[in-house]
Amino acid sequence: MIEELTPEMIRKEFDASILGCKTTETLELLKGIIGQDRALKALNFGLYISNNGFNIYVAGAPGTGKETAVKNFLDELAKTKTVPNDWCYVNNFENTYEPKVLKLPPGKGKAFQKDMKHLIGEARRILPEAFQSDEYAKKRDETVRVLDEERKKILNELNESTQKEGFSIQKTPIGLFIVPVVDGKPMSDQEFISLGAREREDIDKKRGELKSELRSAMRQVSELEEKRKEGVDKLNRQVASYSIGHLVYIIQEKYKDNPAVVAYLEEVEQDILDNIPQFLEAKGPSSPISDPLVREIPFRKYEVNAIIDNSTILGGPVVIEHNPTYHNLFGRIEKEAQFGVLSTDFTMIRPGSLHKANGGYLVIPVEELLRNIFSWDSLKRALMNEEIVIEDLAERLGFISTKGLRPEPIPLNVKVVLLGSPYIYHLAYVLDKDFRELYKVKADFDTTMSRTEENVKSYSSFICTVCEKEGLKHFDRSAISKILEFSSRLAEDQEKLSTKFGVVADIIREANFYANQDKSKYVKASHVMKAIEERIYRSNLIQEKIEEMIKRGIILIDTEGEAVGQVNGLSIIDLGDFSFGRPSRVTASIGMGGEGIIDIERESKLGGKIHTKGVMILSGYLAEKYSQDKPLSLSARLVFEQSYGEIEGDSASSTELYAILSALSNLPVRSGIAVTGSVNQKGEIQAIGGVNQKIEGFFEVCKAKGLNGSQGVIIPKSNSQNLMLKEEVVKAVKEGKFHIYPARTIDEGIEVLTGVKAGKKKADGTFRKNTLNYRIDKRLKEMAEKLSKYPPSRVKKKKKERTK
């Protein structure tokens, strides 16, 4: 017979003497990753290797602390890196639609921005003063006086020449005209027409000669005007250059080690000299168009857009982008409305997360990345080309073809860490060839870690760390012990601790709440237990409703007595935040025939593929054990009674087999014993999941209907190490009110259920008399003999009639 599990075997408690933590351990814990040695090695390799493509995919289940652990690790690693450069966008004076980018040492971007602001401010102040000075007026007068005198001389000579010939020059809106003069007065058109033909011809001839002289004189005057303008412009440039030259020189000397900045300053100086008038505008009353903001627009081109300022960071940047939209990653070019028209310039370029993380590390949740259109494709392109391109998303889509800004790309040097599930990693690795090239390092976060003394101490320190960081009450040793037991239960393993730190941290916070209510100095074991119980209570309404229906006899579950072909199976109902075990009645009916085992759940399309596989394995077990000397002439039907939803999984296959064996042997099984475990064709009972919830689910039903000391559960022997049952169940086992039987084989389990020896097969292939297997073998022989009396055609005919 099977030996029952003792209370010590179904809940492994902790030695409270080794628990506790110190402040130094708490602070040091922030730098490590608890129990994730595999992931830590992968992170170390991927982050220290500089080759392109060795980005990291951190895989793990939600709640394992991936993000927190990775951030803490990167924060420590980033301190060892050099601070990356600042990046600034400035105007491209040759093509304003393609702004230039400048790279400056960390902290110099803002300084350069201030220097340029000071330069332009001083230029706007100094230049008007220089051009309003007496010295400038004197030089300008000297420059234009000679040319004005020469111009005057040409025009005087022209007037004398025309007057000598009896003509005068008159100015009109459309130009200069040569008009004949009579008695000192210009001749009118009527007077000219009244002249004789010969006189008119003589006047026209002389006027033609004078027009030639007029054109020659006007050409000379135009040349003088051009010289005059060139002279004034030259003087203006000399005065302006002299006025601002020293300001430009000072900044150039400050950034002389940066050729790109020096070249840009030269371009700025030349542009100022080319646009002196805009610096000389009068500061009179503003018109509606001369709004102060509008007047500043011409000077925007001299501004510096310091999009990345690393003056305040130590080491490399660590950026976590939880909303990786295209613009949040790659930046954007903003627009503003001016006089009803949208306009933009380089000062409206805004950085994205890639800019901020450049020279460091960028962490992105992969599900959010894939959810945002164009983000993943653009990120791949940026990593492969090693540059960040800022462009309008609408333009990229091809919806807009208007002319816009195309900022110069910024070189990219960043490690991008993706956080996600192993499933997405495998999909991306198989379906996306670029993913394989870019993400060559995978850091797997396990959901459990070994329950060693070192890890237990680290876990204790984790509890203290949460309390320290969030200002919670500290836990005494008994409370820490309960947290660790809860962690092992989450891991469903006596030798493991769960790394779902999010769930554990929630219990810590809730236990602190109850400790505050009790005005306790420390959080105690009772507070932790209450937090766990309240967490269950908030989610177990459906479980209580099912237990109530079982108690009231609406759902038929027997916990006393015996029945043939009827066994209590155990299943799991998962509600997402809460899962619980539910007993189900499994029945089997036996008859003659060659149909084998018929799964009613499958026939009604309520059985899943794994469940169907489990049922089909039962035929293999029966054939090997009982059908070596005769055909298996059996028609058995299996069903989960009062089940109205899909059934999946093979954990009930042993239960179904027990029901068939009971029906074949005509031996009743104990209704107070529930069963779980899958079975193979050799009759070995295999491990299943959710063993704690299944045991506790049946225990709650038995408790509701009354514990009588004969109730219990048969579980796979290999699941014994997964037991971390509630203290209430442990107490009932200790008092002999409830029992847990670990079974290795079907024979061991059926003996517990029926109280009859299973019986081993002898050398001649028969079984010992009066054993369960003997009764089954005898029954199958009788069925085969009876079935042989019916010709196959007759059997088929009857089957066809039933079908009709």
Indicate whether 554 pLDDT > 50.
yes
- 8 A C-beta contact, residue 501 and residue 63: yes
The half-sphere exposure of 107 on its side-chain side, counting CA atoms within 13 A, is 7
pLDDT at 286: 46
pLDDT tens digits, one per residue of 753-794: 999 999 988 888 889 898 999 999 999 898 888 888 776 655
pLDDT at 479: 93
Query: What Cα–Cα distance (Å) separates residue 37 from each residue in 71, 79, 133, 448?
Result: 16, 22, 77, 12
DSSP per-residue codes, 712-768: EEEEEGGGGGG----HHHHHHHHTTSEEEEEESBHHHHHHHHHSS----B-TTS-B-
- Burial bucket for residue 368 (CB in 10 Å: 0-12, 13-18, 19+): middle
pLDDT at 173: 65
pLDDT at 336: 83
pLDDT at 208: 73
Mean pLDDT, the chain, as a whole number?
85
pLDDT at 23: 41
Enumerate residues 6+ apart whose C-beta is below 8 A from 569.
Answer: 583, 584, 585, 586, 640, 652, 655, 656, 674, 675, 676
How far is the C-alpha of 483 from the C-alpha of 499, rounded, in Å? 12
pLDDT tens digits, one per residue of 300-351: 999 999 999 999 998 999 999 999 999 999 999 988 877 777 888 899 999 9
Residue with tokens 């009062």: 642
Indicate whether 181 pLDDT > 80.
no
Report the pLDDT averaged over residues 536-540: 93
How far is the C-alpha of 363 from the C-alpha of 125, rounded, in Å? 48
Report the pLDDT averaged over residues 188-193: 68
Report the pLDDT averaged over residues 361-380: 93
pLDDT at 284: 44
Query: What Cα–Cα distance (Å) separates residue 483 from each residue in 451, 532, 534?
Result: 13, 9, 15
Report the pLDDT averaged over residues 74-84: 90
- 8 A C-beta contact, residue 110 and residue 306: yes
pLDDT category of residue 517 using cuts at 50, 70 and 90: very high
pLDDT tens digits, one per residue of 578-597: 999 999 999 999 988 888 88
pLDDT tens digits, one per residue of 684-699: 999 999 999 999 999 9
How far is the C-alpha of 383 from the C-alpha of 403, rounded, in Å? 27
pLDDT at 170: 67
Note the pTM of the prediction, 2 decimals: 0.79
Q: Which of 6-20, 442-456, 775-789 has the lowest mean pLDDT?
A: 6-20
pLDDT tens digits, one per residue of 245-297: 999 999 999 999 999 999 999 999 999 999 888 888 744 444 444 566 667 88
Report the pLDDT averaged over residues 66-87: 89
Q: What are phi and psi of 712, to 5 degrees?
A: 175, -165
Indicate whether 145 pLDDT > 90.
no
Beta bridge partners of 448: 498
